[in-house]
A = this chain, B = another copy of it.
Amino acid sequence: MTVLIADDEERDRLWLKDLLTKNLPEHVPIQEVCDGQQAVDTAGRLKPDLVFLDIKMPHLSGIKAAEQILQKLPGTGVIILSNFSDEVYVRNLWKIVPADGAFGYVLKNASNEQVVEAARAVLSGDCWIHPGIARVIQRTQNRATSLTSAEYEALICIALGLTDSSIARRLYLTEKAVQSRLKSLYSKLAIPGRGEGQDTEFNQRCRAVFLSYRRGLINQSELEEWEGKLFETKTGGEK
């Protein structure tokens, strides 16, 4: 039995390693790496039973690393470590986790007991989801509040500060289509329009960005990734 820890923060690695050696039944060998790509490579070689993946890592995020690892070794137990209950990640998570796989999601402010509990659960084939994030998961599965990928794309674009027409060009849509996406986005985020409410309190566009930041639907690192994608296609050949 082997355990792999992937985290770019040395402090967190030490803490986790220490915790596991003290609390796991037998003396298990624990490997450490400090980015997502190394995690994938090392997992391929070691075929560990359990992998801890920090979400925020250089080169390859924890989610993407998990995707690749689970693709090659579906039986691996994966535990995602996250600082926040970001909805973006939860969103992507369900897509890559096999239905019968064992995995865990723990926030970094979890108590030591919780982490050990999660490790035990995943090792014995169960799932362990941090209590604080159950609500978030619920939301991602509710038809009325969860965003479709069309709405999500639009959200990213306005968060980056693009205009409607600019978005339309980048996503190969008409301006009307963009506005239509935004309209349903606003309604799902429950932002009052011009008609509702006594007088217009909010600029829906900015309000949507604000609320999405707060709910963890978007975050800085996710946005920067998209920024790269959206601008590279255009910087090449433009009149």
Contacts and interface: CB of A to CB of B under 8 A. Distances in A.
Nearest to A213: B220
Interface in A224-239: 224, 238-239
Contacts of A122: none
Contact of A166 (B9, B159, B165, B201): B201
A166 to B, nearest CB: 5
A46 interface: no
Interface string A196-227: 00111111111111110110000010011000
A75 B210 CA distance: 40
Residue from the set A161, A211, A223, A224 with the largest chain B CB neighbour count within 10 Å: A161
Given A9-B109, A209-B209, A238-B198, A162 B203 contact: yes
A16 to B, nearest CB: 10
A28 to B, nearest CB: 22
A174 to B, nearest CB: 16
Contacts of A203: 158, 161-163, 205
Contacts of A162: 201-203, 206-207
A200 to B, nearest CB: 6
A83 to B, nearest CB: 9
A186 to B, nearest CB: 11
Given A166-B202, A203-B205, A159 B210 contact: yes
Residue from the set A165, A201, A223, A224 with the largest chain B CB neighbour count within 10 Å: A201
